[in-house]
Amino acid sequence: MAARSSAPEKRPGFFSQIRSLYTFTQQAFPWLPWMLVGIVLLGIAVGVGIGFFIPPVAIWSMILWGITGLMLGVLGGLMLMTRLSTNAMYKKIDGMPGAAGHVLSTSLGRKWQAADMPVGVNPKTQEAVYRAVGRGGVVIVGEGARGRLTRLVNDERSKVQRVASGVPVTVFYIGHGEGEVPISKLSSSIKSLPNKIDRSTMAAVIKRIESVSQSLSSMPIPKGIDPTKVRAPRPR
């Protein structure tokens, strides 16, 4: 029997992550290189301008301010690239089965608890329903054709209201039609819900809902999204 390796898993370095982030983002935004160059040049120009107008005017002062502007330009470029990479990720997963679960499990923060696995699935059409519990109450997210999601959403709503009476339940449908929420705005829409319950009530609601939730292990889970491949790499 082969001995297990005790060496820790080697993670990609900082510059490797930056390169991956750049490649991922440029695929969605081909104009990214020109934008980054422009931001860096603008930073240098601003730095040199500050060095020129602040006395005493000297070459060394303009050089130092130019280097400062260069660093600020690089920082601004990284911030822009990180923001664009998030938009690129949303563009890539929009319409893919499992996209809602990915967003719920990675983008809500500590005030909410959710999983990337659906709590209800239509075996024939693969429409799915996801659930998140947080300070804003319970959120039910329907992914798929809205007309075919009615029964799944109503079943989940009834289950929640049965075990957590008085806790507000909000329903979101993923899509681009009237009354629907684009996948790119799902996280912000949930986070914008006002706080309705405290932390202890939230923990009790989670425990009650989980106690009555049925196992979905025998149901076909929508496939088509791999968060490790779709998620935009971020520099550390």
User: Mean pLDDT by 10-residue block, N- to C-terminus, for the chain (236 residues)?
Assistant: 53 78 87 93 92 82 90 93 88 86 87 88 86 92 89 90 87 90 92 89 86 53 48 49
Identify the pLDDT of residue 11. Answer: 66
Alpha helices in 58-98 (DSSP H): 59-93
DSSP assignment letter at 184: G
Is the entire prediction scored with pTM above 0.75? no
User: For residue 111, what are the contacts with CB-CB under 8 A and spacing of at least 6?
Assistant: 134, 135, 136, 191
Q: How confident is the model at residue 16, as a pLDDT?
A: 83
Contact (Cβ atoms closer than 8 angstroms) between residue 183 and residue 142 = no
- Strand runs labelled E in the chain: 112-114, 120-121, 128-134, 137-143, 169-173
**pLDDT at 7 (0 to 100):** 52
pLDDT in the model for residue 208: 86
Q: What is the pLDDT of residue 128?
A: 92
Q: Which residues pair with 143 in a beta bridge?
A: 128
